Amino acid sequence: MLVHGTGGSADSLFGEFVPYFSGERTVIRPNFSGSGRTTDGGDRLTTQMVVEQLATVAREAADGPVDLLGFSLGAAVATAFAATHPELVRRLVLVGGWVHSTGARDQFYFSTLAKLFSGDRDLFKRFAQLTAYSPAAVESAGPQGLADYLRQDQWPPLGMGRQIDLCARVDNRSLLADVTAPTLVIGMAEDQMVPVDGSLQLHAGITGSQLIELPGQGHMDWVAAPTPVMELTRAFINAK
């Protein structure tokens, strides 16, 4: 089961990842409320709400415990899912995740993101690009690539505002000790959106977890070149 992050979807984030598991696994890619073709009442999202949605998907789509990969907000939700439904998770991979958003920096970041989202769309996209990718990745896009990105109309999705609001309310500190599934934590060394300290805290709080820190990587860099993370994931979930 692959769980996307804020502003992403099962297709936009993980659509190209299925071949990494073809022939070996059934790949389940749920969408958060506000992403993809999901429809609901538009209520404020809570971690518990999304966890129960994922639990329903896991029960209906899998014949047993799932190997669960969560990215960004998806990693935060996956952590809570593994803690509260241990019977549904065999192995857990947390990519670019964090434990809680109560600190001054995270509150400042997510409130800034929310203000830009509800205000100037162009400024929001500029800020998101600069914090989601490493300086090297932004530079490599070049002037034309960045201009093309700003002209895209399909992103950000309208439901992203609800997900940003949830990001600002993440607090899994009391749940880490309840995560019993073997866990691999993958952090991005140059992450300006979700600093790598979040991965260090996940590793410190989840007993027996493994930590791998990818040098030179921003929050989203790995999505454009997913092979290293996918290979780490495959090795981890296939380990005896």
C-alpha separations of 68 from 129, 134, 143 in Å: 27, 26, 37
Rounded Cα distance between 17 and 224, Å, is 11
- Return the pLDDT at 22: 75
Predicted pLDDT of residue 13: 86
- Condensed to tens digits (0 to 9), the pLDDT of residues 10-45 reads 888 888 888 888 778 899 999 887 776 777 777 899
Contacts of 73 (CB under 8 A, 6+ apart): 5, 6, 32, 163, 166, 167, 170
Q: What is the pLDDT of residue 154?
A: 82
Q: Which sequence positions are flagged as catalytic?
A: 72, 191, 219
Task: Give the pLDDT of residue 25.
Answer: 87
C-alpha to C-alpha distance for 134 and 148, rounded to whole angstroms: 18
List phi, psi (to 5°) of 213.
Answer: -110, 125
pTM of the model: 0.95
* Amino acid symbol at 20: Y
| Percentage of the chain exceeding pLDDT 90 | 82
Looking at residue 206, its amino acid is I
Long-range CB pairs of 14-20 (<8 Å, 24+ gap) are: 16/226, 17/226, 17/230, 20/226, 20/227, 20/230, 20/233, 20/234
What is the band of 112 on the pLDDT scale with cuts at 50, 70, 90?
Answer: very high
Q: 2-238 belongs to which homologous superfamily?
A: Alpha/Beta hydrolase fold, catalytic domain (3.40.50.1820)
In this predicted structure, what is the pLDDT of residue 215? Answer: 97
Say which residue, 68 or 14, is predicted with more confidence: 68
Q: Locate the domains of the chain by residue range.
A: 2-238
